[in-house]
Amino acid sequence: MDTKQLKQISQFCFELPRTGKMRVPGRLFASSELLRDMDEMVLKQVANVAALPGIVGASYAMPDAHWGYGFCIGGVAAFDPDKGGVISAGGVGFDIACGVRTLHTKLKSDCLKGKEKQLADALFRKIPAGVGSEGKVHLSAGQIDDMLSGGAQWAVENGYGTADDLRFTEENGKMSGANPKYVSDHAKKRQRNQVGTLGSGNHYLEVQKVVEIYDQKIAKAFGIEKDDIKISIHCGSRGLGHQIGTDYLKTMAQSAVALGIDLPERELACAPINSKQGQAYLAAMRCGINCAMANRQMLMHLVREVMAALFPGSHIRLLYDVSHNTCKLEEHSFNNKTRKVFVHRKGATRAFGPSSKELPAEYASVGQPVLIGGTMGTASYILAGTDVSKQIALSSACHGAGRNMSRKAATKKWFGKDVVRNLAANNIIIRSNSMRGIAEEAPGAYKDVDAVIEATHNAKLAKKVAKLIPLICVKG
């Protein structure tokens, strides 16, 4: 991107000054190199978000930012409902509450030796993944509503997990204020056969090995040691969330004109938070959050079954579950005044520091685990939220590597079978139904996750704790 219009605030923070219709400045967190390689559209989208009614603070972009829909992916913005602030379906995205759940296994890497293929096959058989895959659980209309109100708590009450899992899930596994009445029948029908499924695209289940610890104290609090085997699940609210996004994007885009909201692009469709439509979306989006947390809880249950059968010595516990496509009501300070604002994070991870009251006791002194997924061939990272992030970026951090190449370009560059072979040479086992899907998700199609993490750490958005490399990847 053309960085001439940016003002450097610090080594890893750049400001886009207010111009035109912008109500607040833009703030981009990145190294100079990452910034240079960012798409030009990121700047435009940061500026467009800055022009929305009721925005407070700044319009932020995380180090993995890229061109999105209305908001850039990696975009963060807060809106004050008492100042005409809006909520945007595009600011949350289609895959509501897409996120990462990382599990402890109590196993060290030697325990896996010689059993890698067996585990890969067992997980691939058990975890419904890919286009059109159906879950084992088919819910009635009434059960769907209970799941949408209850989230992961509903899943645990129905036998898919333990009460302890909930303590390590955001919102204790249940997003309050969810009302299934505001979710269309279409959305509920789309979910009926998709409960407990992984999805496709960049979603995955990965068996990982901890290869490096950067912060011993925090790692100890998180329960992470070198050579540990962890399992990470990356997925979201499946068809239900996608349909809620589709439904509300349409009504918001059509009604914005009537409400006198100037939309620089239709995908920024939004409604005042204190309006009937804003409240309806909020209630529906919160159902999407519950759906995603329930989904990941049920996938964790399937992992437990596989691991119990193959590794009797294993013990699956939850390290943390955090979403990266959400809008949440939080307290933040602006000009030394605390305000309750609705924080949109589109492809950005909440990263609460130690001062947050919403952390489980085990993490209270070190901050929230920030789970960042890599690609099939590259590392994932566990970071910890910082209190600095609350001051500079509304307690937000990056969410992944971020693509640097389109799917079309990726399929032109790589064949799926070559990607699988290359990964096998690096001792990474891939299981997927689709070779084309693998080509589209080739590690080379993504930015360098290591550079994104360095920038996130150096900008103090979150603190590096551990690095994990993939051993087995079940691709959706």
Partner 1 sequence: MYEHFNHQADIGIKGIGSTIDDAFEQAAIGMMAVICNPRTILPEKEVKIFCTAPDEEFLLVDFLNAIIYEMAVRNMLFGKFEVTVKGDCLEAKAWGEKSDPQKHQTAVEVKGATYTELEVKQESGEWTAQCVIDV
Kindly list the residues in this chain that would bind partner 1 in the complex (CB under 8 A): 39, 41, 66-69, 73, 93-95, 130-134, 186, 189-190, 192-194, 199-201, 239, 242-243, 245-246, 249-250, 253-254, 265-267, 269, 403-409, 411, 433-437, 439-440, 476
Asked if 227 and 209 touch (Cβ cutoff 8 Å), the reply is yes
Asked if 30 and 38 touch (Cβ cutoff 8 Å), the reply is yes
Nearest-approach distance from CB 433 to partner 1, in angstroms: 4
- First vs last C-alpha separation in the chain: 32
Nearer to partner 1, 134 or 358 (CB): 134
Strands 325-334 and 337-346: what pairing? antiparallel
Spatial neighbors of 185 by CB under 8 A, at least 6 apart, are: none
Helices vs strands, H then E, count in the chain: 14, 19
Q: What is the DSSP string of 201-252?
A: TT-EEEEEEEEEES-HHHHHHHT--TTEEEEEEEE--HHHHHHHHHHHHHHH
Nearer to partner 1, 211 or 451 (CB): 451
Nearest-approach distance from CB 323 to partner 1, in angstroms: 16
Nearer to partner 1, 214 or 415 (CB): 415
Nearest-approach distance from CB 25 to partner 1, in angstroms: 24
Nearest-approach distance from CB 129 to partner 1, in angstroms: 9
Nearest-approach distance from CB 333 to partner 1, in angstroms: 33
Nearer to partner 1, 30 or 249 (CB): 249
Tokens representing residue 59 in the block: 């319009």
Nearest-approach distance from CB 181 to partner 1, in angstroms: 20
DSSP 109: G
Nearer to partner 1, 19 or 406 (CB): 406
Tokens representing residue 217 in the block: 């104290």
Reply yes or no on whether 242 is catalytic: no
- The helix (run of H) or strand (run of E) holding residue 461 is none
Instruction: Summarize the chain as % helix, strand, coil (round to 5).
Output: 40, 30, 35
Nearest-approach distance from CB 266 to partner 1, in angstroms: 4
What sections of 399-447 are H helices per DSSP? Answer: 407-413, 416-425, 435-440
Q: Cα 321–325–327 angle (5° rounding)?
A: 105
Nearest-approach distance from CB 369 to partner 1, in angstroms: 25
Residues linked to residue 473 through DSSP beta bridges, in sequence order: 206, 430
Nearer to partner 1, 19 or 254 (CB): 254
Nearer to partner 1, 153 or 243 (CB): 243
Tokens representing residue 12 in the block: 């890893």
Nearer to partner 1, 186 or 217 (CB): 186
20 C-beta neighbours (distance < 10 Å), count: 8
Q: Which of 98, 94, 40, 32 is nearest to 63 (CA)?
A: 32
Asked if 171 and 151 touch (Cβ cutoff 8 Å), the reply is yes
Asked if 77 and 87 touch (Cβ cutoff 8 Å), the reply is no
Nearer to partner 1, 89 or 327 (CB): 89
Strands 26-29 and 55-69: what pairing? parallel
Tokens representing residue 227 in the block: 């050579």
Catalytic-role residue among 242, 301, 332, 399: 399
Nearest-approach distance from CB 291 to partner 1, in angstroms: 14
Q: What is the DSSP string of 128-190?
A: --STT---S----HHHHHHHHHHHHHHHHHTTSS-HHHHHTBGGGG--TT--GGGS-HHHHHH
Active site residues: 399
